[in-house]
């Protein structure tokens, strides 16, 4: 049962991912969470994030920000990066992931989702049949309900690491 929560891959940071390799593998669309995946919670797009999206577009990717946050927050971040957006996504619901693929013109085989939370980002994308990468959170300071989920995530990560170590 825990396997439904496991990412397909992990990275210390979004900024450590080999996006050129993903493109060679046939990935054409990337779904991103925003907070603690690209920038600290509630922060605008910084130079590193702007540079990343410039690079991704140059490679040939379509990108979509999928967030459980409100439109104002998502629009504030997107002001500098100019990609597709979906706010109030109700992750881990499949609906937003399917809509993101529709916006980008991709399908489950050509899309990857990147996020820092297992119970929203990873589980939601897994439910939609999309390949996932779990990244380390950028900032440790988080809202109380997220802190509680992080404790549960540690259990999932423990079993994920045991499973992947056996391979």
Looking up residue 17, the CATH number of its domain turns out to be 3.40.50.1000
Q: What share of the chain is helix, strand, coil (3-state, %, to 5)?
A: 50, 15, 35
pLDDT in tens, 140-163: 665 555 556 666 777 677 777 777
Query: Residue 2 — pLDDT band, cuts 50, 70, 90?
Result: confident
Lowest mean pLDDT among 17-26, 90-99, 153-162: 153-162
Angstrom distance (rounded) from CA 163 to CA 10: 14
Query: Which neighbouring-strand residues pair with 9?
Result: 133
Whole-model pTM: value is 0.88
Q: Counting Cβ atoms within 10 Å, is residue 65 exposed (0-12), middle (13-18) or buried (19+)?
A: buried
Split into its structural domains, the chain has a count of 1
Quick check: helix, strand or coil at residue 92?
A: coil
Quick check: helix, strand or coil at residue 40?
A: coil
Quick check: helix, strand or coil at residue 114?
A: strand
Domain of residue 56 covers 2-165
């Amino acid at each position: 049962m825990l396997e439904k929560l496991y990412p397909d891959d992990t990275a210390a940071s979004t900024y450590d991912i080999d996006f050129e390799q993903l493109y060679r593998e046939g990935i054409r669309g990337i779904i991103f969470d925003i907070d603690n995946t690209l920038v600290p919670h509630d922060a605008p797009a910084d130079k590193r994030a702007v540079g990343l999206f410039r690079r991704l577009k140059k490679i040939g990717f379509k990108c979509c920000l999928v967030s459980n946050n409100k439109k104002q927050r998502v629009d504030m971040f997107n002001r500098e990066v100019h990609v597709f957006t979906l706010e109030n996504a109700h992750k881990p619901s499949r609906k937003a992931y399917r809509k993101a693929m529709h916006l980008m013109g991709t399908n489950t085989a050509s899309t990857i989702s990147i996020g820092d939370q297992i119970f929203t980002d990873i589980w939601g994308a897994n439910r939609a049949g999309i390949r996932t990468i779990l990244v380390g959170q950028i900032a440790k300071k988080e809202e109380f309900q997220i802190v509680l989920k992080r404790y549960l995530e540690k259990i999932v990560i423990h079993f994920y690491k045991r499973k992947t170590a056996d391979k």
